[in-house]
Amino acid sequence: MLRTGLVIDPRYQEHHAGAGHPERAARIEILLAVLDEFRRPEIERLDPRPATVEEIALVHDRAHIARVDATAKRSFFAFDPDTWVSSRSAATARLATGGLLTLVDAIMAGEVNNGFALVRPPGHHAEFDRALGFCLFNNVAIAARYLREKHRLARVLIFDWDVHHGNGTQHSFAADPTVLYVSFHQYPFYPGTGAVGEVGDGPGEGYTVNLPLPAGSGDQEYRHLFAQVVDPICRQFDPEFVLISAGFDAHLRDPIGSMRLTADSFGWFTRMLLRLAADCAQGRCAAVLEGGYDLEALGRSVLRVLDDMAGTQLAEPLPALGAPPDLLPRVQAVQRRYWELP
């Protein structure tokens, strides 16, 4: 039986980004409420711990960490027009990063097989020396480097299905062939990065795989690209751990993005990635919450992912795909320079 770790804590509501901000405490409130009725014996709750300065510094400049910590003395502070914090935000951000590291450690110890860290603030926009796009510390990038440094893994996959491109994650590993970064995202869109030709630098060239999709793309376009581009590339990379930047703002109900994914597709992605993890990474797979700003869509989508992580859906056949998206040949042409695609 699969055992799935779950990290969630009321303290993740203590970060406040200002009245009317979409990245709000209600995101955790709704998840706590729906999870109270989500009773599965396979789910094991894990208590998060704050990340240390040394752990955050695996990815971030220590001066940036100090700037974030200094906001604990301010009622409100703006890092940029989108990224506001309050006096409890720095502590909450440390707990968010530490929550994912708690999950990663539990998976590596064999205490659980996989899991989901439902944390906030999100992280994939945060750069080496800069908070950006609602994000203070890059949780998933820190976890990838933590797996490399502490657990001595040779290859880590980060798959990002948030509607926005994870600029901070891409830049963290642009020259690093030990971390494969793969991203689905609306394009052109904030933050402006993530073109198909952005493939990494130097020894990391080819280990960044961007799959930019036009506004209005939905289940079939995403699934086709995953099946025909993402899955074969990831299997050639042969990861020892699969990390997921799980944003749900590509859902058709989301007020920020313009994509048309359903909760079923987030479950489909999860099943595909769990199959990859089972074949390559001893089943080791951890997701961390990124975006997702419609509360109903967020709750449904998170439950669908947890169902697939803890359930028997891995044995179910995958549905047939429809017509491929128009951009498929262009994406394949770029990636064939680095990977053996059919």
Catalytic residues: 125
Tell which residue, 224, 276, 220, 270, has the closest CA to residue 244.
Answer: 270
Give the closest residue to 136 by CA, choosing from 149, 150, 121, 148: 121
d(CA 163, CA 180): 19
CA distance from start to end of the chain:
34
Residue 190's SS3 state is coil
Sign of the four-CA dihedral 176, 178, 184, 185: negative
Q: Which residue bears the tokens 């199959």? A: 275
Residue in this structure with the two tokens 């109900």, named with its chain if needed: 253
Is residue 204 within 8 A of residue 175, CB to CB? The reply is yes
Determine the distance from the C-alpha atom of residue 51 to the mean position of all C-alpha atoms in its chain, rounded to a whole number.
Answer: 18
Other Cβ atoms within 10 Å of 36 Cβ, number: 8
Contact 101, 143 (CB under 8 A): yes
Q: What distance in Å separates the CA atoms of residue 106 and residue 99, rounded to the nearest whole number?
A: 11
Rounded to 10 deg, the angle between the 89-108 and 62-70 helix axes is 130
